[in-house]
Amino acid sequence: MKLTSSALRTSALSVIACMAMTACSGIPTKTFEFQSIDIREVNCPSMIVVNDDWDTAIAEKQVFDGTKMERFSLKIPFARPTVMVRAVPLPDGNVPKSRGDLRNNPSRYAPDQRELRMTDPTVQLFVFNLTR
Amino acid sequence: MPSSLRKSAALTVMLAATACSAAPLEHYIMSDPPDASIYVNGKRVGKGDNLLHQFDFSQCDRVWISAVHPDWRAETKSFTANQIRRYKADRKNIPFSLGR
C-alpha cells in the first residue's frame, strides 16, 4: 500500500513537472496568414501542412478557403529556426478525411512549399502551378 | 591613429549602418515575360516590366516575391535586404524568369 501511494505520488509529481515544463518550455510561436491562388490569380482552397504533420492539419482543419476568408491564420511553434510549410491545393475545398483521400482525388494544381523563419513576413502567399 | 579616434570612427560606421538598414530600400523587379503580375509579401504590386518597388524590412528580414502569369509557371523567391542592395550595387534588376 505504501509502495502504491509512493508510486502515485511520483506519477502525480511527474505529470505536474511535465505540465510545468510544457508551460515554461518557451517555444516561440508566430502567427502567419496564408493565402493561395492559382496562376490565373484566383483564390484556390488549400490545406496548410506544417513540418509534414498531416494529422494535425486534417484534425485542426488548417484550410484556406477564399470563399469564407481573406486569409487563413495559423500560429506556428518554432522549436527549430525554420519550419517547412506546405500548401496543398484542395480540389473541392473540403477538408479531406485523410491524406489518402487527397491522393485519390488529386487537384489539377501542384502543392507549393517553403521553409519559413520566425522573422519572415506574416502574410505568405502560395501560388499553384498546374501539375505537369 | 589614436585609439579614441579609431573608436569614434567605428561608432560612426555602426550608426551609419543602423541608419541605412532602417532606410527604405527601392529597387526594380523585372520578369520575363514582362506582363507577369508581381506580388510582394502577398500583396499585388504591379507588372514585372521594370517595376520600381519600395521594400519594407522594418518587420521582417526577408521579403517573398512571386511572379504570376496564366501561361507560365509561377515563381516565388525570398530576398534579404542585403541581397537586394547587392542587385542595386551591381545595377541589376531583381530577376524572374518564368518557365513553361
B37–A121 C-beta distance less than 8 A = no
- Answer whether B70 touches A (CB < 8 Å): yes
Task: Name beta bridge partners: B46.
Answer: B38
C-alpha cell at B10: 567605428
pLDDT computed for residue B5 by the predictor: 53
Identity (one letter) of the amino acid at A115?
E
Side-chain-side CA neighbours of A4 within 13 Å: the count stands at 1
- Which positions ≥6 away from B29 have C-beta within 8 Å? B38, B48, B50, B51, B53, B65, B67, B93, B94, B96
Q: What is the tens place of the pLDDT at every residue in A14-71?
A: 555 445 444 556 999 999 999 999 999 999 999 999 999 999 999 999 999 998 999 9
Assign B2 a pLDDT band (cuts: 50, 70, 90): low
Burial bucket for residue B85 (CB in 10 Å: 0-12, 13-18, 19+): middle
pTM for the full predicted model: 0.80
Task: Give percent above pLDDT 90 in chain B.
Answer: 75
DSSP state of A120: S
**C-alpha to C-alpha distance for B76 and B51, rounded to whole angstroms:** 16
Higher pLDDT among residues B97 and A16, named by residue: B97
* CA distance to partner chain B, nearest, from residue A71 (Å): 10
- List of chain B residues whose C-beta atoms are within 8 Å of the C-beta of residue A30: none
pLDDT value of position B15 = 45
| Mean pLDDT of the region A84-112 | 93
* Minimal-distance CA residue of chain A relative to B69: A39
Give pLDDT tens digits for B57-84.
999 999 999 999 999 999 999 999 999 9
Q: How far apart are CA A117 and CA B61, in angstroms?
A: 9
Using alpha carbons, select from A127, A55, A46 the residue that is nearest to residue A90: A46
Split at pLDDT 50, 70, 90, the class of B20 is very low
Cβ distance B42 to A121 less than 8 Å, yes or no, reads yes
The whole-number pLDDT of residue B82 equals: 97
